[in-house]
Amino acid sequence: MTDQPAGAEHPDRRRRHPLVSMLIEAAIIIGLAVLISFIVKTFLLRAFYIPSESMEPALEVDDRIVVNLLAPGPMDLDRGDVVVFEDTRQWWGPDQAPETNPAQDAMIFIGLMPDTSSHYVVKRIVGLGGDTVECCDEQGRILVNGEPIDEPYISPGRSPSDSEFSVEVPEDHVWLLGDNRGASADSRAHVHEPDAGAVPVDDVIGRHMSTVWPFSRFGGGVSDNEPFSDVPEPAEASRAVAE
């Protein structure tokens, strides 16, 4: 065995150049950030932007929002929830997604940029599976299972609906309206289709959790369940009618 000269540094103990160490650490941090962002975007939270005025005043054009992906799922959906759903039936027409470059596509994929696809739509749930949703009573209010709803979130100057309808929401579906009723192509426009304008729960991506941009509009969820607190369940409404 050849003895190593005294004071010589063992090859395995040579220190890396500071710049190399910094680059390695930066790569690890960036990699972890991307991984965490992808996990969050896939299982917990997801960002979207608002492309139209259909949900004003709660959500305005170009707002950036974050939705909770646990609803539906571990958390239940409820009347009054504002949700994002995938337009699987092309209610808003095909091939309407804005152009993006590869870098933007990558950032959207890993969750570092809001999804700009026009095939995702944001509306408010007014009816759950089994509910009967009608327009309107003598005061112009929408009824759910016979209970009139006072809707404080409707855009000022707009009526609850300018068109009459009466639908029974299929099971495992939700029936949705925009808050800016005169500028919202929502479930009312599809009441004559097989599902009466309802959207399958499986198409719902998540419930609005927060508006994050612009900072002047930063705030919590815009869902409002209180107006529906007195709505009877479908079976109770049916029994009351029979009596």
Mind spelling out the 3-state secondary structure of 191-231?
CCCCCCCCEEHHHEEEEEEEEEECHHHCECCCCCCHHHCCC
Region label for 74, one of left (φ > 0), alpha (ψ between -120 and 50) or beta (otherwise): alpha
Question: Which residues are registered as beta bridge partners of 235?
Answer: none
Other beta carbons within 10 angstroms of residue 216's beta carbon come to 7
Angstrom distance (rounded) from CA 154 to CA 166: 20
**Residue 43, both tokens:** 């299982």
The yes-or-no answer on residue 159 being catalytic is no
- Among candidate residues 41, 52, 123, 187, the one labeled active-site is 123
Angstrom distance (rounded) from CA 15 to CA 13: 6
**How would you label 143-153 residue by residue, b for 16+ Cβ within 10 Å and e otherwise?**
bbbebbbebeb
**How would you label 24-43 residue by residue, b for 16+ Cβ within 10 Å and e otherwise?**
eeeeeeeeeeeeebeebbee
**Residue 137, both tokens:** 């009573």
Q: Give residue 47's pLDDT band: very low, low, confident or very high (50, 70, 90).
A: confident
Angstrom distance (rounded) from CA 207 to CA 209: 6
Q: What CATH number is given for 16-242 in this structure?
A: 2.10.109.10
Residues 175-204 pLDDT 10s? 999 999 989 989 999 999 989 999 999 999
Contacts of 19 (CB under 8 A, 6+ apart): none
pTM: 0.76
User: What is the Cα Rg of the chain in Å?
Assistant: 25
Helix or strand or coil: residue 82? strand
Domains of the chain: which residue ranges? Answer: 16-242
| DSSP states of 140-205 | S-EEETTEE---TTSPTT--S-SS-EEEEPPTTEEEEE-SSGGG---GGGGTTSTTTT-EEGGGEE
Q: Give residue 242's pLDDT band: very low, low, confident or very high (50, 70, 90).
A: very low
- Among candidate residues 21, 41, 52, 54, the one labeled active-site is 54
Q: Give residue 239's pLDDT band: very low, low, confident or very high (50, 70, 90).
A: very low
Residues 96-137 pLDDT 10s? 556 667 766 666 665 555 565 558 899 999 999 999 999 999
The yes-or-no answer on residue 223 being catalytic is no
Contact at 8 Å (CB) between 60 and 50?
yes
